Amino acid sequence: MLWGKKRFTDKIINVSLDEAHVIKEWGSNFRSDYLQISPLRYLFPRTIPFHLGSATLEPHMEPKLHANLHLHPKMTSVIQCNTDQHNIFLVVKEMKHPLKSYEDLAFIIKKNLKPGGILPPKFLIFFNSQGEAQGGAEYLRAHLSPELRDKVGWFHSGMKDEYQEEEMHALLVGNVMGEGSTDAAGMVGSEPISWCFNLMDSKSGN
């Protein structure tokens, strides 16, 4: 194994973990491999620093990450950049319905929307699981007439690479209205996307 070769580990200058908040949030279910990162700490020299990058990592989560990943506080840095941009407006709306009902997304697409009707701005909705991403997209599809239902799709790492590429291309340059997605979509190009949502239950933190 490469990690066990001293000739390799001696050349490592630091370990950077981007979007570090998801290690704790999703490590127990969606991405269980995240919690297997901790053994790396014992394969590298103790002098190797770890950098945790996240725009949304809350202070109370840092000790939990240190414990989960067996990180030494003095050799760990948290990097947070300001997400305040002049063309991005953040809005928080209280959920009125159960998370799995997806009814809080009803405002995005007018019910029984037909060809020739007023389309919503192009959108991307982030969910915490593949099933929720597909379920949310299917909920919105049901608001469309049959001719338009292929204009809303879903995107996650469980799909074949070719299909992922097709879906993202359709969202960015095609005539797709929007997608339900997991973090697999990453920070896609924002130019064609006007609305970006994260559907989460504040009580569970998911």
- Reported as a single tens digit per residue, the pLDDT across 4-16 is 788 888 888 998 8
What are the φ/ψ torsions at residue 166 (nearest 5 degrees)?
-65, -45
pLDDT for 190 beyond 60: no
Residues 6 or more apart whose CB falls under 8 angstroms from that of 72 comprise: 46, 66
Nearest C-alpha neighbor of 173 from the set 193, 148, 143, 201: 193
> Maximum CA pair distance of the chain?
64
Distances (CA, A) of 51 to 9, 13, 100: 17, 11, 35
Give the chain's domains with CATH numbers.
2-79 (no CATH), 99-198 (3.40.50.300)
Sign of CA pseudo-dihedral 183, 41, 9, 16: positive
Cα 17 off chain centre by = 15
The per-residue pLDDT for 66 is 84
pTM: 0.60
DSSP conformational letter for 51: E
The predicted-structure confidence for 119-178, as pLDDT tens digits, reads as follows 899 999 999 889 999 999 999 999 999 999 999 999 888 888 888 888 888 888 888 999
User: Residues 34-52: what's their mean pLDDT?
Assistant: 81
pLDDT for 206 beyond 60: no
